């Protein structure tokens, strides 16, 4: 008697689709799910399966999720899983520094420093195995680069995304 229930996992996945793809309303999310096979696959719906009405989410949210911390728990679990697998948020956070107040500095390129240490380890290993070490000629010179360092926040770095987006960020 009545309509068949909708799995709560489907409701959470609908919210995930909505926020991940920046869809502004649940009504629009449902419209997208009706026509997008990738969304249907993610939700476990076949090509001919009926998608729930958009109002179903609102009603179920009120009854099942409103006074719970379910979404916080999901978010926390995602953060924990990411940390376990050494994933880090790579979002640039704008620094509180004027992008026009900086000093140009010459610094040593870190990749060359690492490459030099790696070259030493390789040569040591080659000598331990009775082989001739690689010549050090191209690794002897130290390469440098010019950077912009903020005069108000030296911890920040100068970030250039495109011609218009230039700022100090972390």
**pLDDT tens per residue, range 125-139:** 999 999 988 886 655
Range 99-105 average pLDDT: 84
**pLDDT tens per residue, range 38-88:** 999 999 999 899 998 888 888 888 887 788 888 889 888 988 888 887 776
pTM, whole model, 2 decimals? Answer: 0.47
Q: What is the radius of gyration, based on Cα positions, of the chain?
A: 27
* Contact of 158 with 147, CB cutoff 8 Å: yes
C-alpha 117/C-alpha 121 separation (Å) is 6
- Report CA-CA distances (Å) from 84 to 73, 75, 79: 16, 14, 9
Longest dimension (CA), the chain: 83
The ranges assigned to domains in the chain are 8-84, 102-169
Quickly tell me which residue has 């640039």 as its tokens.
Answer: 92
pLDDT of the residue at 32:
94
- Report CA-CA distances (Å) from 155 to 2, 94, 104, 152: 62, 12, 14, 9
């Amino acid at each position: 008697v009545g309509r068949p229930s909708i799995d709560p996992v489907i409701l959470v996945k609908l919210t995930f689709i909505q926020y991940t793809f920046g869809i502004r309303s649940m009504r629009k999310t449902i419209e997208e799910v009706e026509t997008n096979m990738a969304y249907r696959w993610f939700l476990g719906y076949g090509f001919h399966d009926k998608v729930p009405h958009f109002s179903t989410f609102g009603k179920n949210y009120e009854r099942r999720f409103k006074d719970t911390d379910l979404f916080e728990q999901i978010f926390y679990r995602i953060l924990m899983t990411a940390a376990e697998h050494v994933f880090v948020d790579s979002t640039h956070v704008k620094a509180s520094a004027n992008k026009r107040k900086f000093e140009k500095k010459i610094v040593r390129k870190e990749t060359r420093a690492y490459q030099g240490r790696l070259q030493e380890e390789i040569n040591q290993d080659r000598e331990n195995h009775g082989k001739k070490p690689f010549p050090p000629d191209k690794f002897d010179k130290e390469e440098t680069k010019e950077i912009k360092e903020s005069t108000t926040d030296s911890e920040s770095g100068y970030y250039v995304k495109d011609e218009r987006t230039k700022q100090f960020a972390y």
